[in-house]
Amino acid sequence: MAQLEPQRQTPAATECGDGALLRRLLGTRHLSLELAAPLSPEDMTIQPMDDASPTKWHLAHTTWFFETFVLRLHALDYRVFDEAFAYCFNSYYESEGDRQPRPSRGLLSRPSSERVLAYRAHVDGALERLLTRAPTAEIARLTEIGINHEQQHQELMLTDILALFAASPFHPAYQEPRTRQAPTQADPLSWLGFPGGIRSVGHDGRSFAWDNEQPMHSVVLQPFALADRLITNGEWLGFMSDGGYHQPLLWLSDGWATVRREGWQSPLYWHRRDDTWQMMSLEGLLPLDLAAPVCHVSYYEADAFARWAGKRLPTEFEWEIAACDLPPSGNTLGSRALRPLPADNGSSDKLRQMFGDAWEWTASAYAPYPGYRPPKGALGEYNGKFMVSQHVLRGASCVTPDGHSRPTYRNFFYPHQRWQFAGVRLAKEDG
Amino acid sequence: MAQLEPQRQTPAATECGDGALLRRLLGTRHLSLELAAPLSPEDMTIQPMDDASPTKWHLAHTTWFFETFVLRLHALDYRVFDEAFAYCFNSYYESEGDRQPRPSRGLLSRPSSERVLAYRAHVDGALERLLTRAPTAEIARLTEIGINHEQQHQELMLTDILALFAASPFHPAYQEPRTRQAPTQADPLSWLGFPGGIRSVGHDGRSFAWDNEQPMHSVVLQPFALADRLITNGEWLGFMSDGGYHQPLLWLSDGWATVRREGWQSPLYWHRRDDTWQMMSLEGLLPLDLAAPVCHVSYYEADAFARWAGKRLPTEFEWEIAACDLPPSGNTLGSRALRPLPADNGSSDKLRQMFGDAWEWTASAYAPYPGYRPPKGALGEYNGKFMVSQHVLRGASCVTPDGHSRPTYRNFFYPHQRWQFAGVRLAKEDG
Amino acid sequence: MAQLEPQRQTPAATECGDGALLRRLLGTRHLSLELAAPLSPEDMTIQPMDDASPTKWHLAHTTWFFETFVLRLHALDYRVFDEAFAYCFNSYYESEGDRQPRPSRGLLSRPSSERVLAYRAHVDGALERLLTRAPTAEIARLTEIGINHEQQHQELMLTDILALFAASPFHPAYQEPRTRQAPTQADPLSWLGFPGGIRSVGHDGRSFAWDNEQPMHSVVLQPFALADRLITNGEWLGFMSDGGYHQPLLWLSDGWATVRREGWQSPLYWHRRDDTWQMMSLEGLLPLDLAAPVCHVSYYEADAFARWAGKRLPTEFEWEIAACDLPPSGNTLGSRALRPLPADNGSSDKLRQMFGDAWEWTASAYAPYPGYRPPKGALGEYNGKFMVSQHVLRGASCVTPDGHSRPTYRNFFYPHQRWQFAGVRLAKEDG
Amino acid sequence: MAQLEPQRQTPAATECGDGALLRRLLGTRHLSLELAAPLSPEDMTIQPMDDASPTKWHLAHTTWFFETFVLRLHALDYRVFDEAFAYCFNSYYESEGDRQPRPSRGLLSRPSSERVLAYRAHVDGALERLLTRAPTAEIARLTEIGINHEQQHQELMLTDILALFAASPFHPAYQEPRTRQAPTQADPLSWLGFPGGIRSVGHDGRSFAWDNEQPMHSVVLQPFALADRLITNGEWLGFMSDGGYHQPLLWLSDGWATVRREGWQSPLYWHRRDDTWQMMSLEGLLPLDLAAPVCHVSYYEADAFARWAGKRLPTEFEWEIAACDLPPSGNTLGSRALRPLPADNGSSDKLRQMFGDAWEWTASAYAPYPGYRPPKGALGEYNGKFMVSQHVLRGASCVTPDGHSRPTYRNFFYPHQRWQFAGVRLAKEDG
């Protein structure tokens, strides 16, 4: 992993020059392979559920993305690796033609993992040649998008591998369990207040950001307070033992219908064994860590928990204002913990766990900002067409690549989805 | 219909005194019966689809609402009409116990329509006795809620009757077709601009409003413009003939999946007969009126149309600010047109059709206002628990009872739903 | 009911002359009305589930059958009552054009019950005129088919009414409970043996029979024994308390999958109230009669019970050979019990309950007899196209019209269906 | 493949002695590996649809079968390879405990293919040790069952591999296309008559046969005739061009519903490319061979074709009587054609293609023979619990291991299933 150090030590915003871009590109490309390394070809091929994709597919799709949006358009002498791959590895770009249906990504035993690695090498070589010669601003822009796109898929890869291993009767571990610290107890939750007023939110466009973070614009906020840390597994057990999953009045109507239809009794990946709770993780089945943040809960559950607690979820703008001066770092992928960890104790006068551990569900529906315009061309499909029926999550998780997130970053999922590393931070009115 | 005149002539806000409340109550209760009058007992009993309810159920449920939330709590000598009705006619109040599942409301051949009418008479008598004696403020408040609740169900009754008759191979007419005016042509769309700034939205609570319209709060708006009238059927045909239902790039991802799964090719209730389009309405099958507003479209369709037109849908706050000084009247239930009508021509310097004809889809997800708190008790389930995955509609429709809506009124439905009288008004950035 | 006496006293086979046919026709037509008489228009209109049809639909469909297959073809001056009815009331005759989808029969609030009665009167008048003049053999043949067809729908009407009332939270009674006899205890099951050999089965065609009962042909039987009576509710409780619904090894694979998917724990229409079992019936909720035959069980359940008992179900030919000399009478519709009754005690040296009480599931898949040919024309669709994936039931039930069944009669349903009046008689090898 | 010659040259029935059993066992075990050899680990892991299983699963399940029913019970010193495998690789034996749900067999990335091969070697070694010492009759009996069981899975393996490769956008070939003979034309269909009478069917038990082929018993047959060969792709095109998939009157009611729901327009695996038809096969996409037997049709289609042709399908007993003196050989797995081949021309005075090319749908529902008893213990679940709603197929296919079938052999599938190598032979009444 030594070769990735530069990337993690040198965040994107401070690097400059073409060499830096190429280094970041190759570091990112390499990290994907490193993440896939513990897997067998079989592990890499299976699709555990419709929402998740095989690792092999992620490796190929991110490569197709560079091939399609960078090399085909800007590398004149580029030879397409295999014309048939566009059908296999296009995710959802209608502009780019027909594609393998999402729930059938797991039917692709061919091309083999080996051939996908050859595809990556082919594309990496071409990218390296392209970027070594001073790239145009457009090439640099598209490469930057490709890097950020691949980082998103790195997170999804780990998320989907967990889904795969959780579906196995063997509960295999993706990585060896780390030496475990003595169990800790979480500090009592404390609150940090923020004044209301007219505040500016969204990204200013001076460095890389997704279209959905823009334009920057003003919003009115009421005074509010945020909990200083994420809700823990121990607190979630309190919700459960108080009948949380059995009291309809705690739930949104759609949420309650989902609880009943799906038989939810706990967060995803929790297992009751005799009288103790275990949790499936990338380190296999572990005893539930009561001080660690709860994770793999849906929006419905996050919202019900908040109601049970007499609080609410923050809006995405409250979260952003609270986060805007914090360094966007924490227990993210670089730490290789690969699971949410207890908050550092003894520092409850500031917000903890804002970046890393678990994405934080917000009360905000995923919607365009005032004046939002998707980019021209196929990349215009990247974010805009998903702006309905989903909720925004803020922060980052334990499997988010280092440096990928920022205070304005908007992640989004449907309110019933649980396989993401998503947790809960509470908010309340203040003053 | 003479007996309803007082109600329609005298809007709620200007009435005062207990007698006025009782008169409004009885007028509302009577209107429900009047709306059901053209139906046979069989018509009143059938549930045409899961989203819709039988007329008989609406008549009984609104009665159960008064019985449960007014009479049981505040009329000491009240004798419950039939204890079994709570199971049948509770809609979704978890606090009030188990209930007939929504998709099974059409299995209730018993109680008969006749017995439901007796139920109504029993409850009306008790309400009249209660309100004749000077009611407490709490009784008056609950009665007002009951009136507004029943008005909502009057709209649903007509909406659901249309769904029922549209499902019949006979396409029966609910009312005789009115004398038809000569076909008109819609004015070209024109635009009215509104300045940006910090604006106050939401209801001030000084007269009746739902909890979801409150609290009043400030928002920041950018300058915007609204189309002066609703989109017409003729304009929708333009979208269709330009391949609107066949171009994925016009659609939200969820919308496109719905178009393909459901085979949508036109708005709901449109039928192609030979080379002409007809539309099922409460007056039976009619030739499509090109100048009339398009109706029975989903949010997905409204959004795709706006994208096709190079415009967008308004946010709910843009709409509210534009509407806040307009009289909340138009082609609503009192006109008995029961279908959207062409806008009056020649007045394009002001907003037309803001109240009446068709509810207007907004770009705003249905969410709580800052500081929103649902009421205590079972009525707290009225609005709050639906605040996820739905979109706000503003205005009123041709089947909204007169005086029921207002500039701050928030209607809400799921983005795929089409059986409501919902149409489209475009917006754009301004200045 | 006096007017129906002639029909029941004078079975079809022995009647002759045109007057007899007309009398039987009118008696049958009248009986349908009589069976519908306790219902409100609303009761008659609702479809409680996809398999069941509204009473109004049955009344109209049987009328359409006469109109289509007798009057249109053979009554030269016949005026079709309403051309639109063919769409509404054709059941499944592809030759007769498009039709209302089966699961949507409950959407037909129009035509009203009243108009359906007028339709019946119109057709009855025309039939009476046609049959009063000496009818041709073809007219007589088709009329006979129409009578038998209507009798089948009389049984279905009552079966479907029970499904409707069982779905009501009120559990209404179709008829007043009869005076109840003191509870009896069933005789122990005894067995009657039959020799093996080459036997002739199927109908000889000398009187009315369906195409599926023909041609008569030879089969080889091994010696076998039949239980002298139907399995009782009390015996079924024994199966249940021995874990019958929880032991996969007792079940066919498809059956076990159905038990788990549907959560079956008892026969359809059984309800546990505190510590006692009740059963929904056409007389409303009744205490479970332990001596009465179990009813409303699927083939899967019948087969599992037999395996639990160490026995098996009879084949249809074993049943037919055993029944061939018995009078085809018993507790059928004419008795107006409308539910299975305990067998008469003290006569265990002969088969009891072979006709009436409950149809008896056989081990035989529904298949064509050797040399079977469906009739020419639309009536060829009557039976043949259903000869796959269903099982044959023999006998008759408590809601089968008197005189409708016979030893060769083949009823048939899918192995998972439970809403029919179907019960269990055991068989075993003999000698 | 040299090592398999003994097996194919020396059919089971004529071999004797323990050495022969061991040789047959090892030959069979080896053949499974040989069939899997062309596959990558990824190919072996994927489950293309619920009905099909991954190759890896087949390899492990057949091994588990020997481990569970031979070694655990009879090899005293046997050490179970991995206790967790019972959960993974039990197919449907309720007696043997819980198991991986069938539709989730494709989630088992672990154990790896490599480990499954080690499992096979472990079990093979133990079996060899057990059988080298003179095995008891019970061990020999169970080993014989295991061999036949594994042969069935060899056929399924190839069938499921075709399903997998047919689902791939690459249409890969499992084996290189053989040198193709010049296209031939099929002889006109001719008919061979068989007399009626009382005939004995079923297996006499003097050599290996499944429980479902027994007991031998008598049936009455009418005179009948069988087509001398299977229906060809060319004849199927005639059915299609005559509107076969569009005429409801040709179809069983369930069949027609399936045609409409699934959009069937041709047999499974047919593809229209421009104006020619291609067929996916184990040799990849091939031009449709008009003289070769049609394959991958459902019972519904076979039945509809027969009706269109004015004929019918044979019963399983007609087929058996016609086949009883024929050698059970033909184009089966040993020929390595792996697809149905045209019948040899010029020999229409005898039945051709009775064993091999394609299984033949019969008109007979899969049911127990008179006096059938499943074996004691878990193996009693092998056949009996599937005896409902399926149809019997007779003969063998191009992927049936040589020597596996016989005239009394009963294969069975649901009437809608098409992924098997199933074709059509017509029958008719004779004389």
**What would the mean pLDDT of D216-224 be, rounded to a whole number?**
98
Q: Are C307 and C250 in contact (CB under 8 A)?
A: yes
Per CB-CB distance under 8 Å, the chain D contacts of C198 are: 198, 220
Task: Count Cβ–Cβ pairs < 8 Å, chain C vs chain D.
Answer: 81
Of D251, D253, D389, the CB nearest to C254: D389
Beta-ladder partners of B199: B219
Per CB-CB distance under 8 Å, the chain A contacts of B249 are: 94-95, 381
**What would the mean pLDDT of D126-141 be, rounded to a whole number?**
94
Asked if D touches A (at least 3 Cβ pairs < 8 angstroms), the answer reads yes
N-term to C-term CA, chain B? 48
CB contact under 8 Å between D365 and C365, yes or no, is yes
Q: What is the pLDDT of residues B259-313, one digit of tens each?
A: 999 999 999 999 999 889 999 999 999 999 999 999 999 999 999 999 999 999 9
Q: Are D330 and D357 in contact (CB under 8 A)?
A: yes
The pLDDT of residue C307 is 97
Report d(CA B109, CA A31) in Å as an integer. 65
- Alpha carbon C343 to its chain centroid, in Å, reads 19
Of D92, D220, D365, the CB nearest to C218: D220
- Please give the mean pLDDT across all residues of chain D: 93
- The string of DSSP letters for A19-35 reads HHHHHHHHHHHHHHHHH
CB contact under 8 Å between D41 and A42, yes or no, is yes
More confident residue, B9 or C151: C151
Beta-ladder partners of C302: none
CB contact under 8 Å between D168 and A109, yes or no, is yes
The subunits that touch chain A, with at least 3 C-beta pairs less than 8 Å apart, are B, D
Report d(CA D111, CA A170) in Å as an integer. 9
With H, G, I as helix, E, B as strand and everything else as coil, classify residue B150.
helix
Residue B13 has pLDDT above 50, yes or no: no
With H, G, I as helix, E, B as strand and everything else as coil, classify residue A209.
coil
Picking from D349, D362, D342, the residue whose alpha carbon sits closest to that of residue D299 is D362
Of D88, D107, D164, the CB nearest to A46: D107
pLDDT confidence bin for A249, thresholds 50/70/90: very high
With H, G, I as helix, E, B as strand and everything else as coil, classify residue B29.
helix
- Residue B310 DSSP code: T
pLDDT confidence bin for A133, thresholds 50/70/90: confident
Q: Supply A381's token pair.
A: 């499909």
Report d(CA A334, CA C62) in Å as an integer. 75
CB contact under 8 Å between C172 and B100, yes or no, is no
Residue A40 has pLDDT above 90, yes or no: yes
CB contact under 8 Å between D46 and A107, yes or no, is yes
Residue D179 has pLDDT above 90, yes or no: no
Give the B-side interface with A, CB within 8 Å: 92, 94-95, 198, 217-222, 248-249, 251-256, 299-300, 303, 363-365, 367-368, 370-371, 381, 385-389, 391, 415, 429
**What would the mean pLDDT of A37-45 be, rounded to a whole number?**
97
Residue type, B187: D
Task: Count Cβ–Cβ pairs < 8 Å, chain A vs chain D.
Answer: 79
Residue A430 has pLDDT above 50, yes or no: yes
| pLDDT over 90 percentage in chain B | 87
pTM of the full structure: 0.94
N-term to C-term CA, chain A? 48
Residues 6+ positions from D305 with CB-CB distance below 8 Å: D231, D236, D239, D244, D297, D424
**What would the mean pLDDT of B403-420 be, rounded to a whole number?**
98
Produce one character per residue of C278-313: b if its CB has 16 or more CB atoms within 10 Å, e if not.
bbbbbbbbbebbbbbbbbbbbbbbbbbbbbbbebbb
Picking from C389, C53, C366, C414, the residue whose alpha carbon sits closest to that of residue D255 is C389
The pLDDT of residue B177 is 86
C-alpha distances (whole Å) from D168 to each of B396, C49, D48, D172, D212 are: 52, 40, 9, 7, 36
Picking from C303, C282, C54, the residue whose alpha carbon sits closest to that of residue C160 is C54
Give the C-side interface with D, CB within 8 Å: 92, 94-95, 198, 217-222, 248-249, 251-256, 299-300, 303, 363-365, 367-368, 370-371, 381, 385-389, 391, 415, 429
In SS3 terms, chain D reads as CHHHHHHHHCCHHHCCCHHHHHHHHHHHHHHHHHHHCCCCHHHHHCCCCCCCCCHHHHHHHHHHHHHHHHHHHHCCCCCCCCCCHHHHHCCCCHHHCCCCCHHHHHHCCCCCHHHHHHHHHHHHHHHHHHHHCCCCHHHHHHHHHHHHHHHHHHHHHHHHHHHHHHCCCCCCCCCCCCCCCCCCCCCCCCEEEECCEEEEECCCCCCCCCHHHCCCEEEEECCEEEECCCCEHHHHHHHHHCCHHHCHHHCCHHHHHHHHHHCCCCCCCEEEECCEEEEEECCEEEECCCCCECCCCCHHHHHHHHHHCCCECCCHHHHHHHHCCCCCCCCCHHHCCCCCCCCCCCCCCCCCCCCCCCEEEEEEECCCCCCCCCCCCHHHHCCHHHCCCCEEEECCCCCCCCCCCCCCCCEEECCCCCCCCEECCCEEECC
Q: Are D32 and D62 in contact (CB under 8 A)?
A: yes
Looking at CA atoms only, how far is residue B117 from chain C in angstroms?
14
- The string of DSSP letters for A53-89 reads --HHHHHHHHHHHHIIIIIHHH-TTPPPS-TTHHHHH
- The string of DSSP letters for C325-370 reads TS-S-SSSGGG---S--PPPSS-TTS--SSSSSSEEEEEEE--PPT
Q: What is the pLDDT of residues B104-121, one digit of tens each?
A: 999 999 999 999 999 999
Per CB-CB distance under 8 Å, the chain D contacts of A104 are: 167
Q: Supply A258's token pair.
A: 């989902």
Q: Where are the beta strands (DSSP E) in B117-265?
A: 191-194, 197-201, 217-221, 224-227
CB contact under 8 Å between A107 and D168, yes or no, is yes
The pLDDT of residue A6 is 32
Report d(CA B338, CA B175) in Å as an integer. 9
pLDDT confidence bin for A56, thresholds 50/70/90: very high
Residue B258 has pLDDT above 90, yes or no: yes
Instruction: Give the CATH number of domain B191-429.
Output: 3.90.1580.10
**Largest Cα span, chain B:** 65
Asked if B touches D (at least 3 Cβ pairs < 8 angstroms), the answer reads no
Query: Could you list the mean pLDDT of each consecutive 10-residue stretch along chain C, which spans 431 residues?
Result: 32 56 97 98 96 98 97 95 96 91 94 97 97 92 97 98 96 88 84 97 96 98 97 98 97 97 98 94 96 98 98 98 96 97 83 97 98 91 94 98 98 98 97 69
The pLDDT of residue B2 is 32
pLDDT confidence bin for A347, thresholds 50/70/90: low
The pLDDT of residue A8 is 33
Per CB-CB distance under 8 Å, the chain B contacts of C174 are: none
CB contact under 8 Å between B42 and C110, yes or no, is yes
Report d(CA C82, CA C98) in Å as an integer. 16
CB contact under 8 Å between B389 and A254, yes or no, is yes
Residue A190 has pLDDT above 80, yes or no: yes
**What would the mean pLDDT of D116-132 be, rounded to a whole number?**
97
Q: Are C245 and C236 in contact (CB under 8 A)?
A: no
- Residue A245 DSSP code: G
**What would the mean pLDDT of D48-71 be, rounded to a whole number?**
97
Residue D395 has pLDDT above 60, yes or no: yes
**What would the mean pLDDT of A379-403 be, rounded to a whole number?**
96
| Mutual angle of helices B55-66 and B18-36, in 10-degree steps | 160
Picking from A3, A14, A4, the residue whose alpha carbon sits closest to that of residue A327 is A14
CB contact under 8 Å between C363 and D363, yes or no, is no
Picking from A358, A409, A364, the residue whose alpha carbon sits closest to that of residue A387 is A364
**What would the mean pLDDT of B56-68 be, rounded to a whole number?**
98
In SS3 terms, B179-206 reads as CCCCCCCCCCCCEEEECCEEEEECCCCC
Q: What is the CA radius of gyration of chain A?
A: 21
- Alpha carbon B342 to its chain centroid, in Å, reads 19
Per CB-CB distance under 8 Å, the chain A contacts of D115 are: none
CB contact under 8 Å between C220 and D222, yes or no, is no
pLDDT confidence bin for B349, thresholds 50/70/90: confident
Report d(CA C139, CA C76) in Å as an integer. 12
The subunits that touch chain C, with at least 3 C-beta pairs less than 8 Å apart, are B, D
Report d(CA A99, CA A105) in Å as an integer. 10
Looking at CA atoms only, how far is residue D167 from chain A in angstroms?
7
Q: Supply D316's token pair.
A: 């399983």
CB contact under 8 Å between B249 and A95, yes or no, is yes
With H, G, I as helix, E, B as strand and everything else as coil, classify residue B218.
strand
CB contact under 8 Å between C389 and D222, yes or no, is no
Looking at CA atoms only, how far is residue D46 from chain A in angstroms?
7
pLDDT confidence bin for B17, thresholds 50/70/90: low
Residue D49 has pLDDT above 70, yes or no: yes
CB contact under 8 Å between D42 and A43, yes or no, is no
pLDDT confidence bin for B18, thresholds 50/70/90: low
With H, G, I as helix, E, B as strand and everything else as coil, classify residue B107.
helix
Q: Are B158 and B278 in contact (CB under 8 A)?
A: no
Q: Are D316 and D361 in contact (CB under 8 A)?
A: no
The pLDDT of residue C292 is 97
- Alpha carbon D351 to its chain centroid, in Å, reads 20
Q: Supply C365's token pair.
A: 């898949």
Q: What is the CA radius of gyration of chain C?
A: 21
Report d(CA C313, CA C98) in Å as an integer. 39
Looking at CA atoms only, how far is residue D99 from chain C in angstroms?
14
Q: Are B61 and B153 in contact (CB under 8 A)?
A: yes
Of C95, C387, C429, the CB nearest to D252: C387
Beta-ladder partners of A348: none
Least confident range from C34-48, C87-101, D180-194, D289-303: namely D180-194
Of C46, C87, C112, the CB nearest to B109: C46
- Please give the mean pLDDT across all residues of chain A: 93
Q: Where are the beta strands (DSSP E) in C145-264?
A: 191-194, 197-201, 217-221, 224-227
Of D109, D112, D170, the CB nearest to A84: D170
Q: Supply B330's token pair.
A: 């138009």
The pLDDT of residue B385 is 95
Residue type, D358: A
The pLDDT of residue B154 is 98
pLDDT confidence bin for A14, thresholds 50/70/90: very low
Residues 6+ positions from A19 with CB-CB distance below 8 Å: none
**What would the mean pLDDT of D229-234 be, rounded to a whole number?**
98
Residue A16 has pLDDT above 70, yes or no: no
The pLDDT of residue D415 is 98
Interface test with D, best of C99, C220, C299, C416 (most D CBs within 10 A): C220
Would you put residue C124 in left (φ > 0), alpha (ψ -120 to 50) or beta?
Answer: alpha
